[in-house]
Chain A
Amino acid sequence: MTTNIADICLVGVGAIGGILAKELASAGLKVVAFERGPAVKTEDYSPRDSIRFIARHDQLEWVRHEPTVFRTRTTEPGKLRYGTSPLNALGGALMHWTGQASRFMPGDFKIYSNEVATGLAERAKADLSEYDVVDWPIGYEDLEPYYERFEWEFGVSGAAGMNPFAGPRRRPYPLPPLRHSGKMELFAAACRRLDYHPFNGPAGILSQNYRPPPPFDTRIAERPACVYCGHCNHYGCHVQAKAATLYTVIPVALETGNLELKTNCKVSCVTTDDKGRATGVKYFDPDGQLREQRARVVILAAFVFDNVRLLLLSKTDRGSFRNGLANSSGLVGKCFFGHGDLRVYGLFDDIIINAFIGPGSAAMRIDDFNGNNFDHAGLGFIRGGTMGTSGDGAPISRMDVVPPGMRSWGREYKEYFMRYYTRTFDIHMAPETLPRRDNRVDLDPRRRDPWGLRLPRITFAFHQNETKMHRFLAKIAEGILREAGAGKVWTELPRPTPTRQCGGTRMGKEPGTSVVNEYCQTHDVPNLFIVGSSVFPTMSGYPATATIAALAYRAAEYITRQRDWFR
């Protein structure tokens, strides 16, 4: 038992928790931060070892005991899955992310107003029955200053003004784009011939040595430029060019002396009092002892699954939290979504691609088929997704790329792989998934983790809007690869599991139809915040990282303004 009352109890020290810890501790607040995984060292994440990080997913070694249960419909019992995005260690998934650092587009925040209310969806002949499409309570302009802070504190490389579909910005990117690879040049040239608008995808990877200049946080250490080793997605960065909180904002937070970091500590629930306020958390210490930490404000900054799980695990027997904490709307866990992992492959006979050189986020992209940037009339769906070149890596990460109809072993396979390993590149897409209440996260009724806590259970399927969009986007990408000179081209439609998961604690103006407000503060419990992609009311045809970082800076600023909470 500890009687010390912290100002802030922070659950999860990954991308979001790292930013929040720095911002709040720097404002003089006493933060106690819980991370269920260990504090990893450079030698834990930096080896350029494809057996370890691709074949064996050893970045998940730190979390193998905590799977999720996945099913596509309620009649299935569900299967245990380990390979989901989060990394349970200090620094979180930014340790091994690809680095795609795009801001959402202005229209991504207003899908209901722009596309449903105006009749565009009807003109598209999109069937949106069962979907629950809403606007965000904030817009691009509200997040713009915070996107800027993310870009300048972590060092994002990009070319402002190159993407005609991007929202307005006050400042350019702090760094020029990453060096071009062969596949980027091919992709860009093909897109230009097709009258699309290729641009350098903004990357959370340093193109030059970098330290944030004033007026940004100059306490953040200088880091070196990318060396284009290509061991990038799923690997930690051996030179620390990749934007990760572990070696940027977390050391600054610790320097303040206001952050107490509790690694290998697993939070089991948020505690509340009779007045319906959060009082702190219960957690298992590294020895498995259940302990309690009291705090004036509790912030959940874990991944989607655990933000939802903790709210549901924190239900009380009596009072207003019988269905889970902050769940008066009944929406905790509902409207969960993620991108379909849609890829199109092309084999080149006359051009050497060398796709293993450089990071995946050194990419040319197009947004011509993202969001509402194209005419959807009669297409049968709304929205879309960004598409571009990707990181391809060592042979271990390419050995399952086999054209349809070819035997995946034996002489034919060997000759194919020898010829095309250096002559293949793929276009990866990020097709947006619209929210539905039947796509959701709840607690598995039977299966538990080693602490005895019920595992998160995901029920998810792609539905009519997504499947039509996937086919449409694949055709576009196949056309680009053919234009670039590929001989054989084929599509791999998404497996049922979504990537880049979001939703489950949706943000909105009304307590009846959302869980948190625009500052990530729960409607029901004023001193409980949930920060992360779980608050997204709708998605985007872009990865979530820049947007969750922006939400974290904005939430931190709001919390530090509430001086009377911490007297």
Chain B
Amino acid sequence: MDSKSKKPRAFRGVTLQALTGQQAQLVEAIAGRIFPATDTPGAVEAGALFYIDRALAGAHKHLLPQYKRGLRALERRAKAKFGSPFLKLSAAQQDVLLSALKAGRIKELRSGEEFFEILRSHVLEGVFGEPSYGGNRDLIGWHLVGFPGQQYGYPDPYINRVVDLEPVAWDGPPKKPDEV
């Protein structure tokens, strides 16, 4: 599964920085179960995978081996338990495996609980983090929960009222309202 090839790996039109195409597919499928699309978009649509891939090439580089081990173990368990790769399983079957991972009951993997918590945190960071890190596309995460993003400030306290501001994201130094 671990590609030795040096040529850039593209996934959904984005060049992967840390994961192989196969690993990326698996992480995306997991993300889709941790924060699923319902009648609203979920982690797949928010591009959580791309947040994770970038993090594993940068700030969380040290976790890449743990990801590789964990994904391999999950794939082995999928085949052993259901006779199919993870990607081919039904959502319910995938959830069974993820529940087992969270409970530390994937026998192919030591400290599976820890890997699950890392996965969960990273998927949610990919949904709700600042889009400059690669996830939260179109500010999907912020729209979902009603968070208006990196506002300069709030002139109004919005006491018991829905905040009717469009979410904003910035990259670059903070600006005063009159400079925007």
Please report the C-alpha to C-alpha distance between residue A413 and residue B145 in the assembled complex, in whole angstroms: 12
Asked whether A467 is an interface residue with its Cβ less than 8 Å from the other chain, the reply is no
Tell whether, in the assembled complex, residue A228 and residue B157 are in contact, meaning their CB atoms are under 8 Å apart: yes
A338-369, CB < 8 A from B: 351-352, 354, 356-358
Tell whether, in the assembled complex, residue A408 and residue B120 are in contact, meaning their CB atoms are under 8 Å apart: yes
Please report the C-alpha to C-alpha distance between residue A47 and residue B150 in the assembled complex, in whole angstroms: 9
**Known contacts A50-B129, A55-B121, A181-B157, then 8 further A-B pairs from the complex at CB < 8 Å, ordered by chain A residue:** A43-B173, A229-B151, A238-B152, A352-B161, A357-B157, A395-B128, A409-B35, A411-B36
Tell whether, in the assembled complex, residue A180 and residue B157 are in contact, meaning their CB atoms are under 8 Å apart: yes
Q: Which residues of B contact A (CB under 8 A)?
A: 33-36, 38, 40, 42, 59, 95, 98, 102, 120-121, 124-125, 128-130, 133, 141-142, 144-147, 150-154, 157-163, 173-174
Q: How far is the CB of A567 from chain B (nearest CB, A)?
A: 49
Tell whether, in the assembled complex, residue A228 and residue B130 are in contact, meaning their CB atoms are under 8 Å apart: no
Q: What mask results when residues 38 to 53 of chain A are scored 1 for a CB within 8 Å of chain B, else 0?
A: 0000010011111100
Pull 24 A–B residue pairs with CB atoms less than 8 Å apart, ordered by A: A47-B174, A49-B130, A50-B129, A50-B130, A55-B121, A55-B129, A180-B159, A230-B154, A238-B174, A239-B153, A351-B160, A354-B157, A354-B159, A354-B161, A357-B157, A358-B157, A394-B147, A395-B142, A409-B35, A409-B120, A410-B36, A414-B144, A421-B147, A422-B147
Tell whether, in the assembled complex, residue A227 and residue B152 are in contact, meaning their CB atoms are under 8 Å apart: yes
The residue from B121, B125, B154, B158 contacting A227, defined by CB atoms under 8 A apart: B154
Asked whether A457 is an interface residue with its Cβ less than 8 Å from the other chain, the reply is no
Tell whether, in the assembled complex, residue B147 and residue A228 are in contact, meaning their CB atoms are under 8 Å apart: no
How many pairs of A and B residues are in contact by the CB < 8 Å rule? 112
Tell whether, in the assembled complex, residue B150 and residue A357 are in contact, meaning their CB atoms are under 8 Å apart: no
Please report the C-alpha to C-alpha distance between residue A42 and residue B96 in the assembled complex, in whole angstroms: 48
Tell whether, in the assembled complex, residue B154 and residue A357 are in contact, meaning their CB atoms are under 8 Å apart: yes
* Interface secondary structure of B, over-half rule: loop
The residue from B36, B95, B159 contacting A185, defined by CB atoms under 8 A apart: B159
Tell whether, in the assembled complex, residue B125 and residue A352 are in contact, meaning their CB atoms are under 8 Å apart: no
The residue from A226, A357, A395, A408 contacting B145, defined by CB atoms under 8 A apart: A395
The residue from B34, B35, B160 contacting A352, defined by CB atoms under 8 A apart: B160
Nearest residue (CB) in B for A58 is B59
Q: Which residues of A contact B159 (CB under 8 A)?
A: 180-182, 185, 354
Q: How far is the CB of B74 from chain A (nearest CB, A)?
A: 15
Tell whether, in the assembled complex, residue B154 and residue A422 are in contact, meaning their CB atoms are under 8 Å apart: no
Q: How far is the CB of A321 from chain B (nearest CB, A)?
A: 40
Nearest residue (CB) in A for B143 is A418
A349-408, CB < 8 A from B: 351-352, 354, 356-358, 394-396, 399, 408
